[in-house]
Amino acid sequence: MSVDSAYPKDASDLLSDLHLLLDKQRQAYAAHPYPPLEQRQQWLKSLRQLLSDEREVLIDAISQDFSHRSADETLFAELMPSLHGIDYTLKHLKRWMKPSARSVDVMFQPASAHVMYQPLGVIGIIVPWNYPLYLAMGPLIGALAAGNRVMLKLSEFTPATGRLLKDLLGRIFPEDCVAVVLGEADVAVAFSGLAFDHLLFTGSTQVGKLVMRAAAEHLTPVTLELGGKSAAIVSADVPLKDAAQRIAWGKSLNAGQTCIAPDYVLVPENRVQGFVDAYRQVMHSFYPTLIDNPDYTAIINERQLARLEHLKTDAVAKGARLIPLYEQGQGRRMAHCLVLDVNDDMQVMQEEIFGPLLPVVAYRDLEQALAYITERPRPLALYYFGYNKVEQQRVLQNSHSGGVCINETLLHVAVDDLPFGGVGPSGMGRYHGHEGFLTFSHAKSVLAKQRVNSSLAIYPPYGRKLGRLVQKLFIR
């Protein structure tokens, strides 16, 4: 049985199919509720081999969905972190699975205590369209490492990648272990309402609220990886070329369609023009032209392209000044553009941009820049550019965001030993590396005693000598 929108079904049939699939995975989990280390390692090794062997067809499928996606971007931003994530997990999994010994107070002795990391059961993962491979593999790696069964809902906006992953994962995993679900928005709605043991969603804040509301029906725990308006701060003395180069890379990767892409940049008032000039120069060194340039990725579909064009139109109508960095794009390869003289009335400063538009906000001093960020919803990422370590600490201590890069963009997400997750409107929960294993495990407390029952001293009837001695010794 599979759920695939290639065959239209009414709502009752769709829900029935999803429940059957969930039940199949629940039964498989019940039969093997604690997969041994060797089984989990075999799952991960098989996944790694598959990704390595099929890299070319994966690159082609993703590019087909985008109309054009740079092959190197798919290699660097999707395949490489997926492979490295598996390698890191394989290296540390044995240690992660070991029970964690805990201390027992003398009044409870003789006894031992430990925390056992138990698989949760069946994990639901809702995958977005912008990185359809990595944002499927990242949580899948953590869920399998923790010993779970997994259902993946792929985005309807990446149909070629979805069909391919369904076929490829089906070659190495039975459907009661890992299953790929395809379909339109109605399938996603039904999927988010299933009684999973944990549900991870990556996407917009608006949709994240709907997912959390649906999960609440079954009290399903959720991890929400959302986004928001991630800020970059250019300090008063950092070389502008250094900052512009790293910001431009973070903003142009995948044409800005990245949840942790810099969404706007704060620049000192007297450095705005210098930053614009440095940014333009850097972008043209990356992409001398957009016409027939294999390195520049397209916008995912016409709907998203129209949304981005509307953001530009709205900004200009409300007083913004556009600085196009290219004369024209090509097809859905949208030309990169800086947006100056912005204000809060503009939609480009209200919504997550998710494209190659970068607003530039002038500021007087670092205190004003930090106030500007803290007055707004907490973002998924924050980027600071400056080599003064005192100012670096000031930024870290006086701001909230899911993660921070100092003099870098994006790459914290690829560091396997760092947790990844948002805060407040940019999400809740975290995964990657050890945190991913913990997110998809139940940390079960275990207190063990044997024949000697030291608790007799606190059993009724109360008032006995031994009970009074315990009170005297331990209640002070």
Catalytic residue numbers, as ranges: 225
Of the candidates 110, 91, 77, 53, which has an alpha carbon nearest to the alpha carbon of residue 452? 110
Burial of 376 per CB tally in 10 Å (0-12, 13-18, 19+):
middle
Q: What is the CA radius of gyration of the chain?
A: 26
CB contact at 8 A, 323 and 276: yes
According to DSSP, the β-strands at 321-324 and 337-340 are: antiparallel
Contact predicate 369/104, CB 8 Å: no
- 441-448 β-sheet, strand order: 100-102, 112-119, 441-448
Q: How many CB atoms lie within 10 A of CB 331?
A: 12
Which residues are bridge partners to 284 per DSSP? none
Tokens, residue 442 = 């139940």
Name the strand (E) or helix (H) holding 373: helix 366-374
Dihedral angle computed from the Cα positions of residues 33, 127, 78 and 295, in that order, rounded to the nearest 10 degrees: 170
Cβ-contact 79, 133 below 8 angstroms:
yes
Closest CA to 251 of 358, 331, 339: 358
Measured at the CA of 132, the angle between CA 287 and CA 324, to 5 degrees, comes to 30
